Amino acid sequence: MTRHDLLLVGYVAAGGALGSATRYLLGTAIQERTTTSFPVGTLVINVSGSLLLGFVARYAFGAATVSPEIRVFLTTGFCGGYTTFSAFSYETVRLFEEGDHGRALLYVALSVVLSIVGMWLGFSLARALLGTREVV
């Protein structure tokens, strides 16, 4: 790994920390102001993150004035910390734009189904582990 690669990792980490903190603060503030158990905060974060990454990626990769460091800070860093759903949305739209509709639909289906299965398995494993421990 080169010195420049390490520098880029630092930009990703800084952007990710800022994005994660923003997600927590904004998502919590939104959810606390609703009267429903529907995850409005998460929905707003996912949609706004997708909008932001769409704009930033298209602009940053199209403008020669945006440095590679700022690009990774904003895209992989901030947007990735803010919501990974934005990366999923970006990759799906890119596949559609490239005319690869079948792979785009497969990616959406696999991402949703396998992520839900993964979550269910994680819950099951944790439940099994908790079941073997004595509650104090």
What is the per-residue pLDDT across 40-66, written as a single tens digit (0 to 9) for each? 999 999 999 999 999 998 898 888 899
**In the predicted structure, residue 38 carries a pLDDT above the cut 50:** yes
- pLDDT for res 94: 93
- pLDDT for res 130: 83
**In the predicted structure, residue 37 carries a pLDDT above the cut 70:** yes
What pLDDT band is residue 135 in, cutting at 50, 70 and 90? low
Measured CA to CA, the distance from residue 60 to residue 24 in angstroms comes to: 25
Measured CA to CA, the distance from residue 129 to residue 18 in angstroms comes to: 33
CA dihedral of 86, 89, 90, 91, whole degrees rounded to 10: 120
Using DSSP's 3-state secondary structure scheme, residue 39 falls into coil
Token pair 């158990």 in the structure block, residue: 37
Length of the chain: 136
Q: Which residue type is seen at 81? A: G
The tens digit of pLDDT for each residue in 63-120 reads 889 999 999 999 999 999 999 888 899 999 999 999 999 999 999 999 999 999 989 9
Contact status, residue 122 vs residue 60, Cβ threshold 8 Å: no
Q: 2-6, 9-13, 26-30, 123-127 — which is least confidently predicted?
A: 123-127
Q: Which residue type is seen at 119? A: M
Using DSSP's 3-state secondary structure scheme, residue 132 falls into coil
